[in-house]
Structure 1
Amino acid sequence: MESISQTYARLRSAQKGRARGAPAYSVFINRPVGRLLAAVAYRIGLTPNQVTLVSAVFTFTAIALIAIVPASPVIGVVIWLLLALGYAWDSADGQVARLRGGGSLAGEWLDHFVDAAKISSLHLAVLVGLSKSPDIPQTWLLVPIAFTIVANTTFFAMILNDLLKGKRGVASAHSTGGGGILRSILLLPTDYGILMLAFVLWGWPLVFFGVYSLLFVACTAFLVAAAITWFRQMARIDRENATP
């Protein structure tokens, strides 16, 4: 039986291409950590769906802490660690599937289902958590509400892009190469890994809110710019398929 290091090396050589300009934390930190977890999970016999559920346990435990437990510096660090582990395990499920010979529609559905629930509940938990702070004016709570809308719309649009392109036989972003490192760094404010890291500041509500709001602005700007690009891509595909 191959060692964990051999499994890790096999995964690395078979790693799928990253989306063009994917944010740096997700590519350079989360994916390698997820690869290591995938090698361990494969060795102990976990299925991809079980890995997805492990990810969900870490993530939703953190989300519950955000909404329920009083904010403090220690709780902020715990939330960040739980979210980071959940994100790394989320990266591991697809890699375990590749080690086992390929994924399944059911597994992909479960992965996206958990992701969708995570995206909505994380920002709504922030809304609940911040509402308990006397330092945060009620009108400021519009930010996590708006962030929920932006995050959900972005996620749905990305899934829809791949779905519609697949119907026309067009390669998705995940199979078209990585894009530049500079682009990956510039997109860091939109990276889920940076949002997770912001929770280290959870014990200082005003500071956290300031960083969280800046990330919201960055994600909103990205969505507006990306939506224009994505719409133009769909229009171009329509024209190409309409050509005799």
Structure 2
Amino acid sequence: MSTHAEVGESGALESFAQTLARLRSAQKGRAAGAPAYSIYVNRPVGRFFAAVAYRLGATPNQVTLVSALFTFTGIALIAAAPVTLLSGLAIWLLLAVGYALDSADGQVARLRGGGSLAGEWLDHFIDALKISSLHLAVLVGLARVDILPVGMLAFPLIFAVVANTTFFGMILNDLLKGKASVASSTAVGGGGSMRSFLLLPTDFGILCAAFVFWGWTSGFILLYGALAVCCLVFLIAAAIKWFRDMRRIDGERTR
């Protein structure tokens, strides 16, 4: 692909670097205290993928589907491939690329002048399917390891419940805040770098990286279990805050 001036979606000539610069200027705000991996790794990589996809003429929905292809190929390897260090590296790369492309679809939409309800629905639908199936795939993959105590299989079951509840809670927050004409956490933005790094264990990108240890089962279980505990603690704290936010909004609406 050439990096020289080409015709973009708007019909104006621009270089690849100019496309990246336009993406940076059009970047939406981040949620308050968003995890550091998403901010400093996934979003910039997604921006590069978005610029490539845009210049190839891909639509946001096409980028979403390519993201799903990488992600669910990785999930299939978790469930069916031999539990080795090599397969773990492949799983990590597939999930990490899929995650970056998941960030890219919205950036392509902004380059093309805005997204659509259908595109947002597809994005969230695939996210929900990814969150559910990944931990179930871990359950299936670990069940094939003969030396693993049966009790360890509780970790992916707990993680599946925590991850799905957290995702639903975030979506429900935005839905109810929008219904009450209150800005979402992404629209408000803010949050310091310290909070972003403290929330690293809750980032999907860190979960992807954990599969580097997939072939070292005891090490993987230790890391995976620690991430599950961190995500559970986050969910408990977040649920308390979310409920208080809703009560505050209720109070403001009745004044």
1:108 aligns with 2:120: yes
In structure 1, distance between residues paired with 2:22 and 2:45: 15
Tell me, in whole angstroms, the C-alpha distance in 1 between the residues paired with 2:15 and 2:154: 50
The letter for the 2-side match of 1:178 is: G
Paired residues for 1:62-81 under 5 Å: 62-81=74-93
Which residue of 46, 69, 83 corresponds with 1:57? Answer: 69
For 1:211, the aligned partner's letter is L
Residue identity in the other structure for 1:215? L
* Equivalent residue, structure 1, for 2:250: 238
1:1-244 to 2 correspondences below 5 Å: 1-243=13-255
Which sits farther off after the overlay, 132-141 or 152-161? Answer: 132-141
* Cα shift at 1:92: 0.2
Contact 1:59 1:87 (C-alpha < 8 Å) held by counterparts: yes
2:228 and 2:147 map into 1 onto residues whose CA distance is: 20
Please report the RMSD computed on the Cα atoms of aligned residues, expressed in angstroms.
Answer: 0.5
Letter in 1 for 2:114: G
Counterpart of 1:70 in 2: which secondary structure? coil
TM superposition shift of 1:18: 0.2
Give the Cα–Cα distance (whole angstroms) in 2 for the partners of residues 194 and 168 of structure 1.
34
The residue type equivalent to 2:172 in the other structure is L
User: Which shows bigger deviation, 47-56 or 128-137?
Assistant: 128-137
Q: Matches of 2:125 and 2:206 in 1, distance apart?
A: 22
> What is the one-letter code of the residue matched to 2:69?
V
Give the count of matched residue pairs.
Answer: 243
SS at 1:235 equivalent: helix
1:143, distance to aligned residue in structure 2 (A): 1.0
Q: Secondary structure of 1:203's partner?
A: coil
Q: Is the 8 A contact 1:135 1:206 kept in 2?
A: no
Cα deviation digits, residues 146-201 of structure 1 (max 9, x gap): 11000000000000000000000000011112310000000001111110000000
- Whether the 8 Å CA contact 1:18–1:174 is kept in 2: the answer is yes
Unaligned 5+ segments in structure 1 are none
Match for 1:73: what amino acid?
A: L
Runs of 4+ in 1 over 6 A off after TM superposition: none
Higher relative contact order (CA 8 A, sep 6+): 1
C-alpha displacement of 1:80? 0.3
Compute the displacement of 1:139 (Å).
1.6
Question: Aligned partner of 2:63: which letter?
Answer: V
Question: Does the residue aligned with 2:14 lie in a helix, a strand or coil?
Answer: coil
User: Gapped runs of 5+ residues in structure 2?
Assistant: 1-12
Report percent identity of matched pairs: 69
Deviation by residue 1:49-107 (Cα, 9 ceiling, x = unmatched): 00000000000000000000111111111100000000000000000000000000000
1:134 CA displacement: 1.6
